[in-house]
Amino acid sequence: MQETAASGVDGSLLVGAGVHKSFGALSVLDGVNFTLAANEAVGIVGPNGAGKTTLLNVLAGAYRPTTGAVYFEGADVTTLDAAQRCRIGIARSHQIPRPFGGMTVFENCFVAATTGGGLAGQRAYQCCVDSLKLCQMLHVANRRAETLGLLDRKRLELARALATGPRVLLLDEIGGGLTDEEANNLVETIQVLRGRGLAIVWIEHIVHVLIRVVERLVCMDAGRIIADGKPEVVIADAAVIDAYIGGRGAS
Ligand SMILES: Nc1ncnc2c1ncn2[C@@H]1O[C@H](COP(=O)(O)OP(=O)(O)OP(=O)(O)O)[C@@H](O)[C@H]1O
Ligand SMILES: [Mg+2]
């Protein structure tokens, strides 16, 4: 990591500064400025195709921005890949779960703790047990991941991310398809994580669940942030209603 004058970029823990991302001629992120403070929970909403997952990929190191930069704890991490960012404390879950199907749930977590988080031995083992317990997956620890249903696959995404020992969790639609009871469970789990000092970025379409957890909401549309602020203010914003909640983005 390279220390830069941007350390002070406002004292934020994670920053995407002036991020543009294009795939060939398709511009997907168009000058996004995103900040996350230490121990803050921020929700990201927006219509399908707005660029939410792409922003997460840029923050997590899966994609290099076309222009712009990413800072973590004040250091420029733009050139670090996803594995390197994981080692310094940036973990993510995938919108479409990606377990190692032939491995058990526990083995999936162990790979995350050791390869992703750089832990070893008893520490790695204990971290996996804690993560699986928190995600209510200890009872399926010895099941092959390919036999899990969607909900447990999503929980495993979260458990794997936690097993790396992160400071920041980037969550991409882990709540999709949940019942009310399951959503309540998820909210409780995320609250526990926040209590442990984790900062969270959570992309989710279930807005009423999201706003029970996050203190700030960001709405994206067509590769830009169109609103950023207190959840109750953002969901009442005319541009947000038009683009997402009650207008052309509503499904
Ligand atoms: N690797 C890629 N190559 C080409 N185009 C891509 C790539 N990844 C994303 N896109 C395009 O970028 C746009 C934004 O996609 P993205 O997945 O970031 O949207 P999203 O806001 O997460 O949508 P959703 O709510 O449906 O998950 C879409 O038009 C998508 O097709
Ligand atoms: Mg997405």
CA dihedral in degrees (79, 85, 90, 93; nearest 10)? 100
Q: Residue 71's closest CA among 123, 128, 15?
A: 15
Amino acid (1-letter code) at residue 6: A
User: Scanning the structure block, which residue is given the tokens 């909210």?
Assistant: 187
Q: What is the model's pLDDT at position 210?
A: 93
Q: Are residues 7 and 51 in the same domain?
A: yes
Q: The domain that contains 30 carries what CATH number? A: 3.40.50.300
Question: Distances from the Cα of 126 to the Cαs of 27, 69, 74, 86, 123, in angstroms?
Answer: 43, 35, 30, 19, 5
CA distance 122 to 204: 34
pLDDT at position 8 = 44
CB 58 within 8 A of CB 220: no
pLDDT digits (tens, 9 = 90+) for 79-115: 999 999 999 999 999 988 889 999 999 999 999 999 9
Ligand nearest to the CA of 219: 1
Q: Are 14 and 90 in contact (CB under 8 A)?
A: yes
Q: Which ligand is nearest to the CA of 49?
A: 1
Same domain as 103, residue 58: no
Whether residues 118 and 26 share a domain: the answer is no
Same domain, 69 and 123: no
Domain containing residue 55:
2-89+167-245
Which amino acid, residue 46? G
Q: What is the pTM of this model?
A: 0.92
Choose one of 140, 165, 190: the last residue of a domain: 165
- Which pLDDT value is given to residue 246? 78
Q: Are residues 83 and 173 in the same domain?
A: yes
What mean pLDDT comes out for the span 224-236? 97
Query: Which residues, listed in sequence order, are joined to residue 43 by a DSSP beta bridge?
Result: 202, 217
Instruction: Evaluate whether residue 184 is within a structural domain.
Output: yes
State the pLDDT at residue 9: 60
Mean pLDDT of 56-64: 98
Ligand 1 atom closest to the Cα of residue 47 is 25
How do strand 2-3 and strand 75-76 relate by DSSP bridges?
antiparallel
Residue 247 pLDDT grade (very low, low, confident, very high; cuts 50, 70, 90): low
Return d(Cα 48, Cα 154) in angstroms, integer: 20
Residue at token pair 């004058």: 5
Span from the CA of 49 to the centroid of ligand 2 (angstroms): 7
Nearest of 165, 156, 82 to residue 120 by alpha carbon: 165
113-137 pLDDT tens trace: 999 999 999 999 999 999 999 999 9
Residues with C-beta atoms within 5 A of ion ligand 2: 52-53, 95
Contacts of 123 (CB under 8 A, 6+ apart): none
Structure-model confidence comparison of residues 175 and 148, the more confident one: 148
Out of 63-77, 82-96, 169-183, 190-204, which region has the weakest mean confidence (pLDDT)? 169-183
Of 19, 20, 26, the one to substitute when testing ligand 1's pocket (max ligand atoms within 8 A of C-beta) is 26
Pocket test for ligand 1, best of 19, 23, 93, 218 (most atoms within 8 A of CB): 23
Structure tokens given for 166: 């992160």
Q: Are 103 and 74 part of one and the same domain?
A: no
For a mutational test of ligand 1's pocket, the pick from 20, 22, 27, 28, i.e. the residue with the most ligand atoms closer than 8 A to its C-beta, is 28
The structural domain count of the chain equals 2
